[in-house]
Chains A and B, each alone.
Chain A
Amino acid sequence: EPEVTQTPSHQVTQMGQEVILRCVPISNHLYFYWYRQILGQKVEFLVSFYNNEISEKSEIFDDQFSVERPDGSNFTLKIRSTKLEDSAMYFCASTLAPGQGRAGANVLTFGAGSRLTVL
């Protein structure tokens, strides 16, 4: 079964450092997402990405965050200058574009996550 792959699985960084989290979505999917889950808390939406631009972003996704799809396969989340409160599990997800009438069109497939620890 196709998977969403995320690297690294765990990254430890010092406050103020830049971090890039990488994701390889399912190959025929068109919508890409980043979510995060602070330990013990709910899964929170960060950003959605379609057709090489951001579709929607949450209040969490401030100027310290950016996303890009540099080479047509990888989908990256960059945190420019990490803060202690950025420590969380970051999940990448992908889906076919909605409304196409296929059974799986509306299901988000999640990766296993990248755990970010900011010291």
Chain B
Amino acid sequence: AQSVAQPEDQVNVAEGNPLTVKCTYSVSGNPYLFWYVQYPNRGLQFLLKYITGDNLVKGSYGFEAEFNKSQTSFHLKKPSALVSDSALYFCAVRDYYNNAGNMLTFGGGTRLMVKP
């Protein structure tokens, strides 16, 4: 079984400050990890992914995430937040070797509020 936890329902940060959105995962095999963003009345947009290789992954809009195998975490980060980053962020995991249906499991989402 695969699962994802996003411990914070909401993260508040001031514009220009660094932001972190937390994610931890559980899989029985090797994890493939993803971050998606959802703006109001829109679908899920892909931000970045970790498949293999470097633990620090860079994605769209200046976001990055760090894969930490020992802590089973994949926190989303950005050095300097923008008001336009305010949205709902979802972490997702796929256990590649134990997932015949190629299914992604999502966390509950974290609402990021960036204030001017």
Contact = CB atoms under 8 A, between A and B. Distances in A.
Interface of A: 4, 31, 33, 35, 41-45, 48, 50, 55-57, 91, 93, 95, 97-99, 106-113
Contacts, number: 61
B49 interface: yes
B1 interface: no
A31 B104 contact: no
Given A43-B44, A43-B90, A91-B44, A108 B104 contact: yes
A95 B102 contact: yes
A55 B100 contact: yes
A48 B101 contact: yes
A107 B100 CA distance: 16
Given A35-B106, A55-B102, A106-B96, 11 more contacts: A4-B43, A42-B107, A42-B108, A55-B100, A55-B101, A56-B101, A56-B103, A93-B44, A95-B102, A107-B46, A108-B104
B53 to A, nearest CB: 12
A106 B44 contact: no
Interface in B91-116: 94, 96, 100-109
